[in-house]
Amino acid sequence: MTQSIDLRRRGLLRASGVSVLSASTVALLAGSEKMAVAQPSNTANDVGILNTALALENEAISAYQLGATSGLLQKPVLEVAVLFQTHHKEHRDALIATIRKLGGTPAAARSDAEVAQALNASALKSQTDVLRLAQRLEKGAANAYIGVIPSFGDRPLAQVSARLAADEAMHWTVLTQVLKDPLPAKALSFGA
């Protein structure tokens, strides 16, 4: 029964010209069907926010790629870094699908070399250096997702932004533990 429902759903998606969405994308869009009839001005602005988020995710993917191929990360830290990169790739794919669903054009990613230069990756000399960079980027990403929440015209997308922020905060927490940094002494340390 479940399989037939899935097949029927896939057929509907294909018939409407929408590519089949991944599980994460379906989850991302859950409850957001009203996006299809959102006000055009709101939609254009929401697409802009999502494209900025996409640039953020692409930068994170490149940063983890640089770290993973640097030779500076040892197991099990390397495995964790690759897992986090996978999360960012899922975020990227979900954002691209959502931008397209809203009628927008996903922004192209910069090359790893361009990101390496922008992040001054040549200065990374140890595992700790790589983890500090990742920790800084994850906190910045979490705060970026929190900071754009009030700007979404479509409220379910604001909720998605909060979910993405939670993933980044989880990454930051793990990295903070690996680095043996103290946890925040006060509550509400993100978005502040």
Partner 1 sequence: MAVALALAVAADAAAADAAHGQELYESRCGGCHSLDANRVGPAHRGVYGRKAGSAPNFNYSPAVKNSNVVWGERTLDAWLTNPQALIPGQRMNFRVATAEDRADITAYLRQQSGK
Contact 138, 175 (CB under 8 A): yes
C-beta of 63 vs 81, nearer to partner 1: 63
CB of residue 53 to partner 1, shortest distance in Å: 9
Q: Which stretch binds partner 1 (CB under 8 A): 72-80, 83-91, 132-140, 173-181?
A: 132-140
Q: Single out the segment in contact with partner 1 by CB under 8 A; choices: 45-53, 65-73, 84-92, 173-181.
A: 45-53
Stretch that binds partner 1, among 19-27, 43-51, 98-106, 123-131 (CB under 8 A): 43-51
Query: Counting contacts by CB under 8 A, is residue 52 touching partner 1?
Result: yes
Nearer to partner 1, 51 or 173 (CB): 51
Q: Is 156 in the site for partner 1 (CB under 8 A)?
A: no
Number of residues that bind partner 1 (CB under 8 A): 27
